[in-house]
Amino acid sequence: MKESTNTEKKIQYGDFKTLAKLLQCSYETAKKRYYRGNEEALEMMKKLTEAKENLIPKENAQECDNQVKTIEYKKSDNMDYP
């Protein structure tokens, strides 16, 4: 399960929804299969994260991560936004 630990670090928002589509199951089922160590789910998530790395340059990925953190911060400050 060492392999899944490396993959877990690369999982981003929306990856489990994509995994669910690939496995043709619900979001909750895909997530449970992954965390329970289902071989098919682990392999598909590994392929998904690798494909993402190959498609998105590292500079863009870092910029996107920073934008997501900013949005999460704004949501958590309990203010109403238009």
Tell me, yes or no, whether 81 lies in a domain.
no
* pLDDT classification of 62: cutoffs 50, 70, 90: low
pTM here is 0.63
For 49, the domain range is 2-76
The predicted structure's pLDDT at residue 1: 47
* Single-letter code of the amino acid located at 18: T
Q: DSSP characters for 52-81?
A: HHHHS-HHHHHHHHHHHHHHHHHHHTT---
pLDDT tens per residue, range 27-49: 999 999 999 999 999 999 999 99
Tell me, yes or no, whether 6 lies in a domain.
yes
Closest CA to 20 of 5, 2, 1, 38: 38
Q: What's the total number of domains in the chain?
A: 1
Tokens representing residue 72 in the block: 């999460």
